[in-house]
Structures are given as structure tokens and as C-alpha cells.
Structure 1
Amino acid sequence: MTQDASQTLTEYPSMEDQAKETRERGPLYSIGIYGAIMAGFAYLSSQYGDVDSYGFVSLLPSLLIVLVAIKTKKPLESIFAGIIAGLLLLDPTSLVTSLGDLSMGVVQNETIAWIVLVCGMMGGLINILERGGSVLSFGDFLAKRVKTKRGTMLTTSFLGLAVFIDDYLNSLAVSASMKNLTDRFRISREKLAFLVDSTAAPVCILVPLSTWAVYFGALLEENGAVAEGQGMSLYIESIPYMAYGWAALIVVLLVATGKLKDMGAMKEAELRAQKGQPIPDGVESIGFDTTHVKRPPVLVGMMNFVLPMAVLVTASIYYEIDLLLGALVASCFTMVLYFWQRLMSFGQLADAMLDGFKVMLHPIAVVAAGFMIKEINDQLGMTTYIIETLTPYLSVELLPALVFVSMAAVVFATGSSWGVFVVSLPIVIPLALSMGVSMPLTVGALLSASAFGSHACFFSDSTVLSSTGSGCTPMQHALTQIPYALIGATLAFISLVVLGYAVA
């Protein structure tokens, strides 16, 4: 080697040295970028001061969440970045105290407390069913009758339709019962999550005997859309106009039957599954522990799965569609049933319940963080800004479609499919009444927006629970699902435009 060549190699580092330098610079580079972004939000705060609405700037924290999520594929970290940005925008001088107050406020929120208990108990119940062998028995029962990949996907969809009482129950129970069968036919966990999620919120809004119907029926009465005691009647009248629920149902059945082909990230996931890897990389720890399962006979295992689910649904209906009380009754029933059959000791049952609760901690944290960003967006006036921006373009015919677009954007940005409407209904309902727009059509547009946001948002409760139960990350699920959700949203928008001219 010549002296010049030796000098050249000395001057220019090898590829390994460059890679090492990039890794070492990576964290500092990221800190610098995020620091500059947060400084920008603090500067914007000084430009707006103490105002009721921040206008277009109110959209920036949610936009930051989406961008960070696309970059990092981590929803919790992405939401936290949006929370910090939003708090800096509101008041950079009290960042720490505001974060503490916001955290305490969310933890003390009645809805969050309900979600924590429901998710935890549902996680514990599913874990008991897993460890007691009943989920495997249910899978074996189906495996003897379902012989094709198409049949497996249709069975998953129909199970989702059958479990209509609540999207939480759907997301966890259906995914747990179908994982082994979908793995056998090399269906990716992302496809399973899509099938489950598409029959969760979109189907729950179409059934008056669901937690969604009870909640929104009461909310409609509180906001003057209908007289007291008539909320459920108005909800039932609105079901034919819940365009996104019907569109999502059509899309998922087209996918299950193979009429609508795989596309984008879903196509890549299915190709990976066909090569023998249905579970994506990096998610081996997600899900419930099924090691050392004591497997009962198939028929006994089937009974041990069906009976707790039947008790769960019956008890929830008995207690006026309260899934928390239903889960409590079903958990106690299942523990007694399994202990009586000597499938598990009392200590094992208690451990299974606690371990199932642990599995749900990350989904619960993501949902709680979503409520925090929703609270910040309310303080920034984001919902009001979006509605007021669209008001000049409103007409009697276009109001339902524009309500769907605007509220779908808000729910997608906040991940709060229920909480958002506490803020928006007092604005939308009087607006529709003053313009003489059909109230069932307006409610149908609102519920369509809520279902789309719950379905498509990468940190909504439905998305997080469906991905956790199926065995993939929320971002893997969201990125593979979004093309189909957008197809459903497009169909819903067109339907609402047509209905606006035909009905409104």
C-alpha cells in the first residue's frame, strides 16, 4: 500500500466508524431537534398570551403527535411529546405544576377510573380463560370446523358481530379466542387486529343494546337534542344514518372474503405471515401467558369459555349495560368454576387475575395519556376552532357531511371517542336545530365520526386493546388498518352528502 493510500484511509473513516459515530450522535441529535421544537412552542405561547382560542396553533400539538408517532412507532412517547408541547403553548413558566395537575385530574377522572377497572378486570378474566385452557379448547373446536383461511377470517368477523355489547369486550375476547386459529392459517396478527377492531366500535354503534347507545342516549338528552327519556328513541332512529358503521362493516366483510385485497403495510404483514411468521418482530412479550396450561377435554373447555362469556354479557345487561359490574360478576363466576373443576388453585387464579391486569397497564397508560391531550386540546380551543372554521361553508344539505369530517378529525387527533362529544354536542346540536337539519341524520353523522376516530386513531382505546389482544403493537395495527379505515370514511362521507340532500 502506498503512503498516499494510507493517508487517504486515515483521513476517511471506515463504514463501521461512521455507523458508530451516527449511533453516538443519534441521541444528542434527537434531543436537539425536540428541544428546538419545544422552544418553538414556548415562543408561540408568548405571542398568544392569555386567550380563549389559539386558532390554527391549537392543531400543532396533535400534528406533532402524529409526526412523532410515524417516526418512532411508539404511541405513548408520541402522546407525551404532544402533551409537553401543549403545556408549553399554554404556559411555559408552569410546565411542571401544570403536568402534575393534569396528571392528577386525569387519574381522578371517573371515566378513566372506569376504564382502568374494566380493562384490568377484562385482562384478568381473559388471562384466566387462557391459563385454564378454555381458549385453546375453543380454538380446537373451531379448528375442526373451519378449514380455510377465508373461513377463519369470516369466523373472526362474525364473532365480532356477535360480541356487540361493548368494544372493549370485543377487542379482547375475540382476539384471544382466534389467535391460535389465525396463526394456523398464517394470518398476520395485524390482520387479526383489523378484523377485530373493525367489528368493535363500528358495530357497537349500530346496536342499541350496547354501552355506546346508553352513553350517547343520555348525552343527547343532556344537550337538548330530545326531551328527557327520549334519548334512546332518537339513537335508534339514527342507526340507519350511522354511515361509517355500515361502511366499516362492508369493508371488513370484503377483506374477510378476499374481495378487497391487501394493500400497503397490511400486504407486507401478510407476506411475512405466509412465510411462517404471523407475529411481527418485537412483540413477543405482548399478550397473555399460556405456558403450563392445563388443558381440559374440548367440550369441557368449550363450556368453560362460553359460560363465562354468557355470564359477562347477561350480567352487563342486567346492570343496565355496565361492563364493569358484568366483568366483576363474570370474574367471580369463572374463578369459582375453575377452582371447582380443580383446573387452577386459588393462588393460581389470583396470580392470573393480577398478571392479566399487568398486561393491560400499557394500554391503560396510552388511553390515560390520550385523555390528557384531549384536556389540553380543550384548553387550546381546538374543537371550537375546527367547527367555527367550517361554519361559513355550512348549509342544510352539507351539515351532516361536514360534521362528520370535522368531528372525525377531532376524535382522531385526541383519541377520545366519548370525551370529545361532551365539548362538541353543545355546539353541534343547537346549530343543527337552528338550521332545521334532521336530528337523526345529525346524530348519525356524529356517531359515525366517533366510530371512525376510535377505529383509526393509533392511540384510541379500541386500537390499543385490539392490538394488545391480537399480539401486535398499536402502531403496527394502526398503519396496516388506516387504508381500510379511510376507504370506509370516504364511503361514509359520500353517503352523508347524498343523505344530506335527500333527507336534511
Structure 2
Amino acid sequence: MEHMGILSLLPAIIAILIAIISKNVIISLFTGLFVGVLILANGRPIQATMETIGDYLFPQLTDSYNAAVLVLLVFIGGFVALMEKSGGAAAFAKSTIRFINTKAKAQLSAWFGGIIVFFSDLGTPLIVGPVFEKIYDKIKISREKLAWIIDSTSSPVAVLIPFIGWGVYIMGLIRQEFDNINLTDSEFTTFVQAIPFQFYSFLVILMVPLVALTKLEFGAMAKAERRVQETGELYWKTSKPLRKTDELNDGVISKPLLIWAPLLVLFVTLFGLLITFGFPFEPVAGGDFRIALSTAYLFASILLIVLMVLYKVKKINETFEIYLSGMQKMMYVAITLVLAWALGTVLSEMGTALYIVEIMEGNVPGYIVPAILFIAGALMSFATGSSWGTYAIMIPLAIPMAVGLDAHMLVCIGAVLSGGMFGDHCSPISDTTVLSSTGAGCDHIDHVKTQIPYAVLNASVALVAYIIAGITGSAISLIVAIILMAITVVIISRMQIRKTSEGMDIKG
């Protein structure tokens, strides 16, 4: 039997429901995993418990590929912790402050600063926000605008980078599914080729300079900007900022060198080693990529430790403590990934994706599959506030669906990543949304209210782009999406201006 019928859907449905209810990715993945094994064990709970541990969890840890991914994540965690504590990013941002004298420059500078801190999605808001908040207050740009900018350059940037924790995590999920359906494609090459199809992330990132350069505002953000410009008030009377000014400043005196030198070593080492494997002219095997990346992170970390001690940012024993604590923080990611691998194996054995394909085949055209995956991912991630949890459940379904329904694989993967990013970016319970409010010293609800109209616009345009990409399979759809977004923003903004002027006429 290729699938277990409607029962094969139960583990995925339960995992999604538990994730929405508990807001806990690990609990939801483990519950979905156990339910699936319980069904396979014919309802025998003791047997199911033993098989969950012995047949599905242990093998994930003993597999050489999986072990390499987990080791790589540990190296990444240590490096990211050092970068966050080095103060290099803040020092780099402060070194450019003297050139900021207009609103457009202020917005573009914070945007560029957020992109520079690509190595840490959670660190971006807390590093960039406090550096720019006083500049924004002086130039009269709302704290809500700052929160939106640093939120738009945290996770949406990180998900596009193949050599940080995000990329490694996603490639691990892709590899597992490829193994389940006997595909020999490189997960690294697949991820890189799917980057142009992450429409939502690109639209989010590019909207910031679009708004900054054209001075176009709409929705609640326009009201927040008028408040600051007309009254000088940083907050609404009912606002409750998550952080007071200077609350995050830790007094670390650093140098811009501590951000660009380690990153330079990281890039040179990584791409220097990848070139020996034939990159970019030949596909790079996942194992070779992980070895090169682990080596690059190790060299970059060693340099950063030396610089931190040399410039007296931290003492030598403190740098080792930071490095080890960063490694320890990756334990949550490692557990999530192991459970995701195990759940994907169970769903494969139950034929979940095959059952979905059987239901949809003949009723749903292949070109619409990416749009369906995007909507499903967006709803789930918004409800749970977790993109990684969404990926863990959706990728094991999306890849077999793409094969079974003859949909474009890369577009489907991009749709899942974009759908998961929607909730991570704008859900009120997303950690990056909360940290962006914190980093900007902004009321959390005010940040959510001002950001959601922009997020919904980007998501709507992305949905149209996925329909186009589903038909064509071409990355040109990204250009179409960007043009469509720009036109839509201009139209909405002009409507907003017209509405405002009409209101002033009525008052007059």
C-alpha cells in the first residue's frame, strides 16, 4: 500500500494544531511524530514509544549526514554569539552616523545596517535598533518605522543566506526529503537555485528603500509618521514601549574591524574551498559544502577571539565562555531538526504526501501548487509565530507534492520558505517581531499595526507571483513581483494622500 489513506494526514494535522495551541515547535513535532508511530505500531503505546526512540530518533543521530549538520550548527552558534558580543556591528553603524542628515539616509542606513548583521536574525534588532533610535528621534522618524526596518532586515535576510543557521537547517530538511523519495540532487545547489523564488523575503527587503526614497507611506505607518512630524511625540498616549532608551547599551567599546574582518575570513575561506570542489560551475556535494563551511566558521571564530582580546573588548576566558554558550544555544535548533527529520520519515512511510497528491491529482493543476503551499505556510506561521516549525512540517509535504503533481520543485520550495517567513516577519507572537519592538524602543502593538499593512501587501503580490512562477517556472517572476509591488505602493500612497487632502478640505 502506497499510503494509509486519511490516517496518513493525522500526524501532520496534529503537529500543526499543537503548534498553534502550544506555540511550541518541539512539543508539536514530537506529538506528531509519536502519533504517526502509534498508528504504524497498530495502536500499541509502549511499542510506539520504543520505536519512536529506537527506530526514528536514534537513527537520525547516528546518520553521518545528520551528525555533520549538527556539528556545523554548533560551529555557527559559537561564531554568532561572538559576533553579537563583539560590538563590531554597532561600532560599524556608529562610524557612519556622521553622514546621516536626511530621513532617506537614516532609513537606508538602518536598512543597510540590518543587512550587514545577516549572521543573526535575532541579533539584528537588538544591535541596529539602539544605534539608530536617537538619530530617528532627531530627524523625526517614528519608532514604528525603525521597528519595521529592523524587522524587515532580520529573518527575511537570514533565510536567503545558504551558509548560516537558516540555510543549514533548511538544507537538512531538503536532504531528508530527497533521500525519502530517492532524489540524488544536491541540497546546497537546490537551496541556492530556489533563492530567486523566495518572493516574500525579497519584497520585504526591497520595500524599505522604496519607501525611503519615494517618501511613500500608507496605513497606520502614515499616521505614526504624521504624529512625529507634526507633534514631535515619540509614542501615542496609550503606547507602552517594550524598552526604555539606552536600556540595551552595555558599554562595550569596539571597532568596526571586529565585524568586517571575521566576515571577510569567513567568505574567503568558504568560497576558496568551494572553488576547489568546482563551484560555481559544478554542483557542490552537501558533504563538501558542510566541511568547507565548518572550516570557514572555525577560522573566523579564531580570528574574532584574537581581535576581541587584542582590542580589550573581552578577556580571553570570557571569549571562550561566549563561544561555548553560543554552541549551547544551538541545542534547541538541533532538537528541532532531529524531530523534523524523524517526522518526515514517518510521514514518508505513511504516504502522507502521496495521499495528498492522489486527492489533488486531476482536481488541482500543478501550476497552482506553489500558491497553495504559500497560503498554507503563511497561515500556519502567522498562527504559530514560527517559520522553522512551519518548514519542518511543510517541506516533507511540499517536495513529494511537487514531484507527484508535476509542479516546479524550486518554486514550491521557495513558496514554503516565503509562507513560513510571512508569520515570522509579522505575527504578534513571533520572536523577531517582539525583538524588533524591543530594539526600536517601540510599543509592540503599534509595531504590529504599522507593519501588517506592508506585510499583507507583500504577501498579496507574492501570491500573484507564485501563480505566474507556477506556470512559467522562471525566476523572472521575481522581477514581475517587484514591479507589481512598486506600482501598488504608488497607487495606495496616492489614494492615502488624496484621502488626507480631502479631509483637510472638509475641515477647512
TM over 0.5: yes
| 2:417 is the counterpart of 1:451 | yes
**Aligned counterpart, 1:317:** 271
**Aligned counterpart, 1:69:** 19
**Separation (CA, whole Å) in 1 of partners of 2:218 and 2:128:** 21
Q: Which AA in structure 2 matches 1:70? A: I
Match of 2:329 among 336, 343, 359: 359
1:133 touches 1:295 (CA, 8 Å); kept in 2? yes
**Separation (CA, whole Å) in 2 of partners of 1:227 and 1:418:** 20
1:75 touches 1:366 (CA, 8 Å); kept in 2? yes
TM-score, length-scaled by structure 2: 0.61
2:340 touches 2:392 (CA, 8 Å); kept in 1? no
**Separation (CA, whole Å) in 2 of partners of 1:84 and 1:131:** 39
**Separation (CA, whole Å) in 2 of partners of 1:371 and 1:152:** 43
Cα separation, partners in 2 of 1:486 and 1:427, compared to 1, 3 Å: same
- Return 5+ residue gaps in structure 2 as ranges: 137-142, 222-233, 275-288, 382-387, 439-443, 475-508
Q: String of CA shifts for 1:149-177, please: whole Å, max 9, x gaps.
A: 876664454455567xxx7x352564564
1:79 touches 1:373 (CA, 8 Å); kept in 2? yes
Shift of 1:127: 2.8
Match of 2:51 among 95, 98, 105: 98
Match of 2:261 among 307, 319, 322: 307
Q: Which AA in structure 2 matches 1:428? A: A
| 2:56 is the counterpart of 1:89 | no
**Separation (CA, whole Å) in 1 of partners of 2:152 and 2:27:** 23
Shift of 1:55: 3.2
1:311 touches 1:326 (CA, 8 Å); kept in 2? yes
1:255 touches 1:261 (CA, 8 Å); kept in 2? no
Q: String of CA shifts for 1:209-267, please: whole Å, max 9, x gaps.
A: x879999999999999x9999x969976x77666455444455666777746469xxxx
**Separation (CA, whole Å) in 1 of partners of 2:97 and 2:237:** 18
| 2:372 is the counterpart of 1:375 | no
Q: Map of 1:47-58 to 2, 5 A cutoff?
A: 52-58=2-8
| 2:351 is the counterpart of 1:401 | no
Partner SS for 1:171: coil
Shift of 1:116: 3.5
**Separation (CA, whole Å) in 1 of partners of 2:197 and 2:170:** 14
Shift of 1:392: 0.9
1:171 touches 1:465 (CA, 8 Å); kept in 2? no
2:390 touches 2:420 (CA, 8 Å); kept in 1? yes
Q: Which AA in structure 2 matches 1:455? A: M
2:70 touches 2:334 (CA, 8 Å); kept in 1? yes
2:357 touches 2:405 (CA, 8 Å); kept in 1? no
Q: Which AA in structure 2 matches 1:376? A: V
1:190 touches 1:470 (CA, 8 Å); kept in 2? yes
Match of 1:277 among 213, 219, 241: 241
Q: Which AA in structure 2 matches 1:97? A: M
CA RMSD of aligned residues (A): 5.3
Q: String of CA shifts for 1:279-331, please: whole Å, max 9, x gaps.
A: 59xxx9xxxx985x5524xxxx1112221122222222223264322211100
**Aligned counterpart, 1:491:** 461
Shift of 1:353: 0.7
Match of 1:295 among 208, 229, 253: 253
Which range is displaced more, 347-356 or 408-417? 408-417
Q: String of CA shifts for 1:152-211, please: whole Å, max 9, x gaps.
A: 664454455567xxx7x352564564243366554587874453112232x448xxxx87
1:171 touches 1:469 (CA, 8 Å); kept in 2? no
Q: Which AA in structure 2 matches 1:117? A: V
**Separation (CA, whole Å) in 2 of partners of 1:183 and 1:215:** 38
Q: Map of 1:52-451 to 2, 5 A cutoff?
A: 52-91=2-41, 92-93=43-44, 94-101=47-54, 102-110=56-64, 112-146=66-100, 154-159=108-113, 169=119, 171=121, 174-175=124-125, 177-181=127-131, 186=143, 192-201=150-159, 203-204=160-161, 243-244=199-200, 246-250=202-206, 259=217, 261=219, 275=239, 277-278=241-242, 294-296=252-254, 301-320=255-274, 322-395=292-365, 399-406=366-373, 409=376, 415=389, 417=391, 425=399, 428-429=402-403, 432=406, 442-451=408-417
1:61 touches 1:82 (CA, 8 Å); kept in 2? yes
**Aligned counterpart, 1:3:** none
2:374 touches 2:415 (CA, 8 Å); kept in 1? yes
Shift of 1:351: 1.0
Aligned length: 411
Higher Cα Rg, which structure:
1
TM-score, length-scaled by structure 1: 0.61
1:124 touches 1:354 (CA, 8 Å); kept in 2? yes
Partner SS for 1:53: coil
Q: Which AA in structure 1 matches 2:367? A: P
Q: Which AA in structure 1 matches 2:269? A: A
- Return 5+ residue gaps in structure 1 as ranges: 1-50, 264-269
Q: Which AA in structure 2 matches 1:346? A: I
Shift of 1:427: 6.4
1:152 touches 1:181 (CA, 8 Å); kept in 2? no
Cα separation, partners in 2 of 1:378 and 1:140, compared to 1, 3 Å: same
